Amino acid sequence: MSNDPRFFAFLKERIGLDVASVGEAIIERAVRQRSQIVQAPTPGEYWQHLQSSQDEQQALIEAVIVPETWFFRYPESFATLARLAKARLVDIKQMRALRILSLPCSTGEEPYSIAMALLDAGLAPHQFKVQGMDVSPLSVERARRGVYGKNSFRGGDIAFRDRHFTEYSDGFHIADRVREQVRLQVGNLLDPALLANEAAYDFVFCRNLLIYFDQPTQKQVFDVLKGLTHVDGVLFIGPAEGSLLGRHGMRSIGVPQSFAFSRQGSPQLPEPAFIPTPAPTPPRSTAPISAKPRPFSTVSAHVLPIKAAPSDAGTLLSRIATLANEGKSAEARAACEDYLNSHPPAAQVFYWLGLLSDVAGSALEAQGYYRKALYLEPQHPQALMHLAALLESRGDSAGARRLQARAARSERADSESKP
């Protein structure tokens, strides 16, 4: 199955996936798994089966897409949404319900978080509706079921779970009052007829998706997102995607760690009010975790493995990760400097400094830190991916392609080295 371009082209056409952004090995593994399941021993036989079966086409897509998400990921985004929603209701004189879109919605944690945040902020059920959409029917079905395990609740403050969920033997069931605010459906951002008859949305969440597309597909998807977002609306994206939107004329609204953009720039916001959203995940250990998010998953793009280190170094690395995930950029940056002052240079620390600079809009500074990370660890997967996205946003497509190719070779080598 190795290096068969037909399967890469199929996924590019169907879901826009740029193989270079994730590495060939991920797709090759999915093809091997599906080939074994349908008992197609050769690439040609599996390709024929794939072409003749819509169910198998969806199954291959599902094998590539591995959803991984949790409630209230990026808490500041939801706090900012609540404040913007109140201001927006005043602007439209409460003549209609606010419209909010979440895509890809994965297994429902994001759209339900939106609903919980707005209900907790005092909005009445008739004042807003949330639309969740994902390319995966299996993920949408899980979202409709609304039953979640403990892995969906991460962080030290999960008081929202007591307010909005009931625990049963099979998991935590979301309350009907939250479920009723959310409508879920299957949909593909590359479908030109997507939501064609729907009115524009006041707020759109589309996070950690654009980085998996090549530049033409990014432009195509951005045009769709722009068309779905009201001219006075706000688009929430992932932390590594701000420079991509800036290239297309969108501007940050100026709220740190919200990753929120609009056509108009900074809207007038009411004074911050307490929004009961949970704190992000505290440090658990320095054990390695998945180094690269799977395509179209909603896993935080900045999760990286922390390699074995002396206990004090490992503790400080965990603290850096926790502070960055909590949106405490200044404290995270100070912790990085503390690390570099007391330990040998580490690629992981320069990666964090790059991401913190990227989020703050300092593209050149971020580029320098990413390159330092790659000097120390040439195949550092997330530094490669984020630097590639940064170069792409600044018009250096050739440089971005070279980095993506390096990441793909690294992923493939790692896969082939495993038994």
Q: Average pLDDT in the 216-228 region? A: 86
**Could you tell me the residue range of the domain that residue 212 belongs to?**
75-262
Structure tokens at 13: 């056409």
**Per-residue confidence (pLDDT) for residue 37, from 0 to 100:** 93
Q: How many domains does the chain contain in total?
A: 3
Please tell me whether residues 52 and 125 are part of one structural domain.
Answer: no
Query: CB of 184 within 8 A of CB of 109?
Result: no
Domain harbouring 337, CATH code: 1.25.40.10
The DSSP string of 129-153 is EEEEEES-HHHHHHHHHTEE-GGG-
- Residue predicted with more confidence, 192 or 108: 108
Please tell me whether residues 58 and 103 are part of one structural domain.
Answer: no
Give percent of the chain above pLDDT 90.
Answer: 34
| DSSP element (H, E) containing 229 | strand 229-236
Please tell me whether residues 331 and 202 are part of one structural domain.
Answer: no
**Per-residue confidence (pLDDT) for residue 295, from 0 to 100:** 58
Interval 335-362: pLDDT, tens = 998 888 888 888 899 888 988 888 777 7
Structure tokens at 272: 């911050």
Place of tokens 């419209």: 99
Q: 57 pLDDT exceeds 50?
A: yes
Please tell me whether residues 58 and 85 are part of one structural domain.
Answer: no
Q: Average pLDDT in the 114-133 region? A: 97
- The domain boundary, picked from 32, 64, 96, lies at 64
Domain assignment present for residue 363? The answer is yes
Please tell me whether residues 35 and 98 are part of one structural domain.
Answer: no
- The domain boundary, picked from 14, 32, 64, lies at 64
Please tell me whether residues 178 and 88 are part of one structural domain.
Answer: yes
Please tell me whether residues 132 and 167 are part of one structural domain.
Answer: yes
Please tell me whether residues 141 and 223 are part of one structural domain.
Answer: yes
Please tell me whether residues 115 and 238 are part of one structural domain.
Answer: yes
The DSSP string of 297-339 is --S-TT--------HHHHHHHHHHHHHHHTT-HHHHHHHHHHH
Domain assignment present for residue 352? The answer is yes
Please tell me whether residues 170 and 198 are part of one structural domain.
Answer: yes
Domain assignment present for residue 148? The answer is yes
Please tell me whether residues 55 and 79 are part of one structural domain.
Answer: no
Q: Average pLDDT in the 311-318 region? A: 80
Q: 184 pLDDT exceeds 50?
A: yes
Number of C-beta neighbours around residue 119 at 10 A: 21
Please tell me whether residues 170 and 258 are part of one structural domain.
Answer: yes
Domain assignment present for residue 48? The answer is yes
**Per-residue confidence (pLDDT) for residue 16, from 0 to 100:** 83
Q: Give the predicted TM-score (pTM) of the model.
A: 0.66
Average pLDDT taken over every residue of the chain: 81
